[in-house]
Amino acid sequence: MTIDVLIVGSGPAGVSAAWPLVRAGVNVVMIDAGAGEDLDPVNAPASLGDLRSSQDTWPFRFGRELESLSAARNADASPKLSTPAALRLTRTFAERTAITASGLRCLGAQASGGLSNIWGAFACAFDSEDLSGTVLAAGVLDASYRAVAERIGISGVDDDVGRHLGIDLPLQSPIELDDGPADLIARYARHKSIVNAGGLELGRARNAVLSEDMDTRRACARTGLCLWGCPRKAIYNARYELAKLGALPNFSLIPGKRAVSVRHDELGASVTTVDATGVGEEIRAGKAILCAGTFESTRLALDMLSYRRPVPLLCNPVSALALLQPRRLGVSAAGEGFALAQLAYRLSLPDNTYAFGAIYTSEGLPMADLARSIPLSRPVAAKLAAMLSPSMLVATCYLDGALSQCTAELRGDALHLEGGHLHAAEVAAAMAKRRLAKLFRRLGCFLLPGSGGLSTPGSDAHYAGTLPHRLTQPADGLPWTDKGGRLAASANVYVADGSVLPRLPAKHCTLTIMANADRIGRGIAERTT
């Protein structure tokens, strides 16, 4: 079979780019650095209640090889990154890519499904304000947002926050709220005018989680164990789509091959790969689309362009706020629930900027994580954390990626990352914290002391903007991609993952990365056929 298009990477971007091409009849081959990794949790209990009452839950909590215990817990790492599967993925990524980083947490996954294996499933679209002034403005992504939403299944509702998360998207009904978030949203309805005047809008979160069955995936059963992965496949993962794509005659998946370099000429592109044993192979195709994740795609592109100076990298500055609902103090722990985002908020900040965040219950979190910041003796802190947990909410607070100050640079064969925040990020985070504390107090939630500090850059794996879409070649000589995703100075190499996003507003970027990959795939399909 002649390969029309070779896609590097099987994550959300790779799969999204593949669908329009395959549907248009283009012969597509996808190479996947993963090789059918076993990422399912071991001895999974039926629900959060079972997890709490079972005596010996260590293989599920820590992994058979004690992955979750083998390193000291990172205080500001997202809890979803501390499960055995997530730790295994990120460790393998670090070993294989040899990326060095300073001041930035580098997370990635070289496994089938890529970073969707550790995605929190928050699915929101960027609005016209977010993308104004870029090549993606003026509804360029609208059709792709709809196509992706239909394909992956998004639950949510159009409400106050919904209008900032994408309009006219096909949505399944939202997942039932737990008691804490339900109490918060009810209070919001009563005090809406006051908190809106303060700049806060609150609504239901949108998640790539099914509330209705879809193909082989089943609706969420609210087991409360979402952080460990969903055995019902209710939470979207790009690897679920690989089997569906593989059933089509013009699509092939080559697992266990990592791309080490890309070259191009007038007639096509060739990708050199290595497998786990170090055996190399060159794969030739009419076009190559790099969807290997921001870091790997950037490395491949910079290597191809022989560009060895730092390029800007966007990361969302992020913090986490612990909120206490005193009315719920002393209620018993729920045996089930939904551990991903239940609510979302948007907080207006000066100069037309905003902070955005999702609100979670804390019941699925390890007690040790909650107890760590309580200044009491450990046994008492653990009991207090268990008592407080049903009355606590955790709100993330994202700021615009332009407030980060990160770079990526090719040194030898590996990428080196430098990370940091602008001083403006700290000012904005402090202001957002103050305002949120005041407005949430109105809604019966009190900010717990010690929370709300900025995490290490890159802690939530939102990376973008190293090879941004532009209309014309930038004067500063930085690498770029055109509106169709084609890498500058190359005829047949495209990039379609987070690295091409020209902006990283204060929202979760995964849905936009998928929609943009879908758009790039459609464009290539039109030109190829």
Q: Which stretch binds other proteins (CB under 8 A): 5-13, 64-72, 338-346, 477-485?
A: 64-72
The crossing angle, in degrees rounded to 10, of helices 239-246 and 12-23 is: 20
DSSP 33: S
Q: CA-to-CA distance for 107 and 122, rounded, in angstroms?
A: 18
Q: Which stretch binds other proteins (CB under 8 A): 49-57, 92-100, 146-154, 270-278?
A: 49-57
Instruction: For residue 379, state whether it binds other proteins (rule: CB under 8 A).
Output: yes
Q: Which stretch binds other proteins (CB under 8 A): 99-107, 259-267, 374-382, 455-463?
A: 374-382
**C-alpha triplet 341, 427, 503: angle, nearest 5°:** 60
User: Which of 40, 66, 176, 491 forms a contact with other proteins (CB under 8 A)?
Assistant: 66
Footprint (CB under 8 A) of other proteins, residues 289-318: none
User: Which of 24, 387, 431, 478 forms a contact with other proteins (CB under 8 A)?
Assistant: 387
Residue 266 · residue 15 · CB < 8 Å: no
By beta-carbon proximity to other proteins, the closer residue of 284 and 383 is: 383
Q: Looking only at Cα atoms, what is the longest distance across the chain?
A: 69
Distance of CA 423 to the CA centre of its chain: 25
Instruction: For residue 371, state whether it binds other proteins (rule: CB under 8 A).
Output: yes
Residue 516 · residue 136 · CB < 8 Å: yes
User: Which of 243, 380, 427, 491 forms a contact with other proteins (CB under 8 A)?
Assistant: 380
By beta-carbon proximity to other proteins, the closer residue of 90 and 172 is: 90
Instruction: For residue 386, state whether it binds other proteins (rule: CB under 8 A).
Output: yes
User: Which of 91, 163, 308, 378 forms a contact with other proteins (CB under 8 A)?
Assistant: 378
Instruction: For residue 102, state whether it binds other proteins (rule: CB under 8 A).
Output: no
- Minimum distance from residue 337 beta carbon to other proteins (Å): 16
Instruction: For residue 332, state whether it binds other proteins (rule: CB under 8 A).
Output: yes
Footprint (CB under 8 A) of other proteins, residues 154-213: none
- Minimum distance from residue 489 beta carbon to other proteins (Å): 46
- Minimum distance from residue 442 beta carbon to other proteins (Å): 25
By beta-carbon proximity to other proteins, the closer residue of 75 and 138 is: 75
Instruction: For residue 375, state whether it binds other proteins (rule: CB under 8 A).
Output: yes
Instruction: For residue 43, state whether it binds other proteins (rule: CB under 8 A).
Output: no
Residue 393 · residue 323 · CB < 8 Å: yes
- Minimum distance from residue 388 beta carbon to other proteins (Å): 9
- Minimum distance from residue 326 beta carbon to other proteins (Å): 11
By beta-carbon proximity to other proteins, the closer residue of 53 and 128 is: 53
DSSP 9: -
Kindly write out the interface string for residues 250-289 of this chain, putting x where it contacts other proteins by CB under 8 A and - elsewhere.
Answer: ----------------------------------------
Tokens at residue 94, please?
A: 């670090």
| Identity of the residue numbered 261 | S
- Minimum distance from residue 49 beta carbon to other proteins (Å): 8
| Identity of the residue numbered 28 | V
- Minimum distance from residue 73 beta carbon to other proteins (Å): 6
How many Cβ atoms from other residues are within 10 Å of residue 249's Cβ?
Answer: 9
Instruction: For residue 349, state whether it binds other proteins (rule: CB under 8 A).
Output: no
Instruction: For residue 472, state whether it binds other proteins (rule: CB under 8 A).
Output: no
How many Cβ atoms from other residues are within 10 Å of residue 242's Cβ?
Answer: 23
Closest CA to 406 of 414, 418, 415: 418
User: Which of 218, 232, 383, 435 forms a contact with other proteins (CB under 8 A)?
Assistant: 383
- Minimum distance from residue 85 beta carbon to other proteins (Å): 17
**C-alpha triplet 363, 367, 371: angle, nearest 5°:** 120
Q: What are 394's strand-pairing partners?
A: 322, 360
Distance of CA 48 to the CA centre of its chain: 24
By beta-carbon proximity to other proteins, the closer residue of 27 and 361 is: 361
Instruction: For residue 329, state whether it binds other proteins (rule: CB under 8 A).
Output: yes
Calculate the alpha carbon distances from 29 to 17, 86, 336, 486 in Å.
12, 27, 41, 18
Number of residues that bind other proteins (CB under 8 A): 35
User: Which of 24, 384, 437, 488 forms a contact with other proteins (CB under 8 A)?
Assistant: 384
Sign of the Cα torsion 366, 372, 375, 379 reads positive
Instruction: For residue 55, state whether it binds other proteins (rule: CB under 8 A).
Output: yes
Terminal-to-terminal C-alpha distance of the chain: 16
Q: CA-to-CA distance for 439 and 441, rounded, in angstroms?
A: 5
**Residues shown for the chain:** 529
Q: How many distinct helices (H) and strands (E) make up the chain? A: 13, 19
Half-sphere exposure of 173 (CA within 13 A, CB side): 7
Q: CA-to-CA distance for 114 and 461, rounded, in angstroms?
A: 12
Q: Which stretch binds other proteins (CB under 8 A): 69-77, 99-107, 111-119, 501-509?
A: 69-77
By beta-carbon proximity to other proteins, the closer residue of 312 and 366 is: 366
By beta-carbon proximity to other proteins, the closer residue of 364 and 401 is: 364
**Please, is 250 exposed, middle or buried when counting C-beta atoms within 10 Å of its C-beta (0-12, 13-18, 19+)?**
middle
Instruction: For residue 62, state whether it binds other proteins (rule: CB under 8 A).
Output: yes
Instruction: For residue 449, state whether it binds other proteins (rule: CB under 8 A).
Output: no
Instruction: For residue 95, state whether it binds other proteins (rule: CB under 8 A).
Output: no
Tokens at residue 206, please?
A: 């949108």
Binding interface with other proteins (CB under 8 A): 52-53, 55-58, 61-62, 66, 68-73, 329-332, 366-368, 371-372, 375-380, 382-384, 386-387
